[in-house]
Structure 1
Amino acid sequence: MRAIQLNRFGGPDVLDVVEMPKPEPQAGEVLIRVHAAGVNFFEVLMRGDRYAVTPQLPMILGVEATGIVEAFGPGVDAQLLGQRVAAPLFASGRPYGGYADYVTIDASLAVPLPDALSFEDATALMVQGLTAFHLLRQSPPIGKSMLVSAAAGGVGSLLVQLARRQGASIVIAAAGSAAKLDLTLSLGVDAAVDYSQPDWPERVRAAVGGEGVDIVYDTVGGAMTTAALNALAPGGELVFAALGRYGLDAANVEAMIGRNQSLTGFALLPLLSPDVLRASLEELFQLAAGGEVVVTKGSRFPLDQASEAHRLVDERRSTGKVVLIP
C-alpha cells in the first residue's frame, strides 16, 4: 500500500510517498480501506518540528480517517465487515498512520457513519468537530457574546454553528480575508472582522456596544491571543486551545487579573474516554447528516499530493477541512 512518511523535519517537500505492506488486523481490530484522511494544522507544525511535542521519526502522519471495513481480527463481530466507519486514530494506542491506503484500529473505536454522511464530512467532524463540540461543553456560550478566531477554518466554522444552536447571544467571527469573512456570514454569525487589520479588536468591541465580548475561543495562539485580549470584556473568559503557540506573557496575565478576566485551557484528548468519544461523534454525525450543522467543504488532494495539502494549510490559504483522498 501507499503511505506518506515523514523521515526528517522540514517544509512540505519532506513528505515522501512510500510503499509498505498492508497492515494485518490483530485481535480486536478492523482493517479499513481509507476513503478520506484529514489534514490538520498541528500536523503541519509536527512536520516542521514546531509542535509542542516532537514526534519520533520515521512516522506516517494522519490522526483521523474514514473508510470501509475490509477485514477483521479475532474477536471482532463479523457484521462490521463492509461497514462505512470513522477511525479516530488520535484516540487509539497508535495515534498516527492516516495518510495511507489502509489503517487498522480497535473495533470498539470504529464509529459507523450514517448513510447520508460523506466520508469527507465525517473526517471533518473528528478532530475539528470534537474540538468545537467540547470547547462549548467546557465553556458554554448560552446567553453570552463570543468571538471565534479563525472562524472560517475547520474548527471555527463548526464552532460558530454549534454556539448559535446552544444559545449564544452574539457570535462574532474573526478571519483573514474577504472570502473567509463572507463564508462566516453565510454560517449565521452576527458580525465578522478581518484580523489582518490592526484595529480589529476595536471593531469587535463596537459590535457588542463597546465593552468587548464575554468569551473568546482562541484556536490560533501567538499574536492573535494578545490582540484578542483587547476585545475581551472585563470579567470575560479567554478559552485557549492552541497548544504550543502561546501568546501571553506575565504582563498580559497581570492585566487580565486587573480586569477580573479568566484564562481557561483546553486540551481535547483528556476529555475523551471511549464512551464520550463514541457518543460525541455519533451526535455530531447525526447533526451533519440531518443538515442541522453544515460542514464547510475544504480542498481535496490525492494522497500522493500530501505536500501540496500541507503547503495550503501552512500558508493559511485553506477554508474548512482539507482532506486526502487515497
Structure 2
Amino acid sequence: MHAVRLYAFGPAENLTYEETGDPVPGPGEVRIAVAAAGVHLLDTALREGRRGPLPELPALPTVPGREVAGVVDALGDGVDGTWLGRRVVAHLGFAPGGYAELAVTGAERLHEIPESLDFAEAVAMIGTGRTALGIVQFAEPGPDDVVVVPAAAGGIGTLLVQYAKNAGALVIGLAGGPRKTARVRTNGADLAVDYTDTAWPARVRAHLGSRPATLVYDGVGGRAAREAVALLGPGGRHLVFGWSAEGIGEEQQGHHVEGVSESVLGPAMLQRAGGLRALELRALAEAGQGRLRPAVTRFPLSQADAAHHALQTRATTGKVVLEP
C-alpha cells in the first residue's frame, strides 16, 4: 500500500508519501480500505514535535492521522463477519495510522456510514462533528440568542453556525477575506463579516442596533475573539474551546466583560453526556438526516504536505480530508 510517513519532526515537507507493507488486523480488529482520512490541526502540531493534549509524541517513524472512512476489507479473529464489505468510519483514538490506503482499528470503534453521506463527509463528522456537538452541550443556543462564531468558515465553525441557526438564533459569522465570508453567508449566517477589516465590530453593531451579542464560541483567540467578546452584553456567555484551550486561554482570558460568564473547555470535558462515542453517533445522525452539513476541503493522499501547509496558513475552508 501507499502511506504518508514521518521520519523526523519538523516542517510539512517531512511528510513522505511512499510504498510500505500492508497492515494485518489482529484479534478484535478490522482493516479498512481507506477512502478518506481526516487532517486535524493536532496532526500539524504532532508533526512539528508538539504533543498538544496527548500524553506523549508518537514513536518515529509514524503514519499520522486518526480519522478514517472506507470499506472493511479484512477481519481479525473474533470480529463479527457482517462487518466485511461495509462502509464505515472510525476515530482511531490516540493511535495514528490514518494517512494510508489501508488502516487497522478495533471493531468497537466502527460506525456504519449513513447512505446519504460520502466518505469525506463521514470523516468530518466523526471528528469535527463530535467536537462541535460536544461544545454546544456546554452552551446551548436558543431563539433569543445572538451568537458570534469566529473562524466560521472552518470545520467546527461551519457546524456551529448551522446548529445555532437550527436552534433559531441570530448568527454572526467571522471569517478572513471575501471568499470565506461568502461561504459563511451561504452556510446560513445572518451576517458574515471579514475580521481582517478593522471596522467589522462597527458593522456588527449597526446590524444589531441596540441588541447585544449573547454567546461567543471562541476556538481561535486573538484580536478577533477579543473584539467579539466586547460585543457581549450582561448575561452573555464566552465559551473558549479546542485542544489548545490551555495554550490560548491566557490570551483570551483577561478581556472579561462585566456580567459575562467565561468558560474554558478542554478536550477531556467533551466526554460529558455519554462520552465520545455518543457524540460520534449523534454527529453522524445529524448529518445523515441533513440537519448538519460539513464543509470539506479535499487533497490527494500524496499531497499531505500541501494539506498541512494549507491548514496552518488558513487557506482552507471546512474539514481538510486526504483521499487516496
| 1:236-315 equivalent positions in 2, closer than 5 A | 236-244=236-244, 246-247=247-248, 249=250, 252-253=253-254, 255-256=255-256, 259-272=258-271, 276-298=275-297, 300-315=298-313
Q: 5+ unaligned residues in a row in structure 2: which ranges?
A: none
- One-letter code aligned to 2:85: G
- One-letter code aligned to 1:137: Q
Q: 5+ unaligned residues in a row in structure 1: which ranges?
A: none
State the 1:164 CA deviation: 1.5
Name whichever of 12-21 and 137-146 sits farther off: 12-21
State the 1:47 CA deviation: 2.2
Aligned-partner Cα distance in 2 for 1:138–1:132:
11
Query: Is 1:73–2:71 an aligned residue pair?
Result: no
Alignment TM-score, normalising by the size of structure 1: 0.89
SS at match of 1:141: coil
- One-letter code aligned to 1:311: H
Deviation per CA, 1:267-301, whole angstroms, max 9, x where unpaired? 34543489643443333323323333222232x22
Aligned-partner Cα distance in 2 for 1:81–1:158:
31
Query: Counterpart in 1 of 2:319?
Result: 321
| 1:15-164 equivalent positions in 2, closer than 5 A | 15-49=15-49, 52-53=52-53, 55-58=57-60, 59-90=62-93, 94-142=94-142, 143-164=144-165
Deviation per CA, 1:157-210, whole angstroms, max 9, x where unpaired? 111111211232x11100001111111111211111111122323333333335
| Percent of matched pairs sharing the same residue | 36
Residue 248 to residue 292, structure 1, CA distance change in 2 (3 Å): closer
- One-letter code aligned to 1:277: L
Q: CA RMSD in A?
A: 2.4
State the 1:214 CA deviation: 1.0
Aligned-partner Cα distance in 2 for 1:230–1:222:
13
SS at match of 2:57: coil
State the 1:219 CA deviation: 1.5
Aligned-partner Cα distance in 2 for 1:145–1:43:
33
For the 8 Å contact 1:226–1:248, the answer to whether it is kept is: no
Name whichever of 185-194 and 240-249 sits farther off: 240-249
Aligned-partner Cα distance in 2 for 1:144–1:273:
24
SS at match of 1:128: helix
SS at match of 1:138: coil
Count of residues in correspondence between the two structures? 319
Aligned-partner Cα distance in 2 for 1:88–1:163:
25
Name whichever of 16-25 and 199-208 sits farther off: 199-208
Deviation per CA, 1:33-83, whole angstroms, max 9, x where unpaired? 111001122222332345635623422211101011111112211101111
Aligned-partner Cα distance in 2 for 1:182–1:43:
28
SS at match of 2:181: helix
Aligned-partner Cα distance in 2 for 1:227–1:56:
38
For the 8 Å contact 1:36–1:119, the answer to whether it is kept is: yes
Aligned-partner Cα distance in 1 for 2:277–2:184:
28
Deviation per CA, 1:220-254, whole angstroms, max 9, x where unpaired? 1244433332233233221111333644549953x
Name whichever of 113-122 and 4-13 sits farther off: 4-13
For the 8 Å contact 1:223–1:247, the answer to whether it is kept is: no
Query: Counterpart in 1 of 2:208?
Result: 208
For the 8 Å contact 1:39–1:62, the answer to whether it is kept is: yes
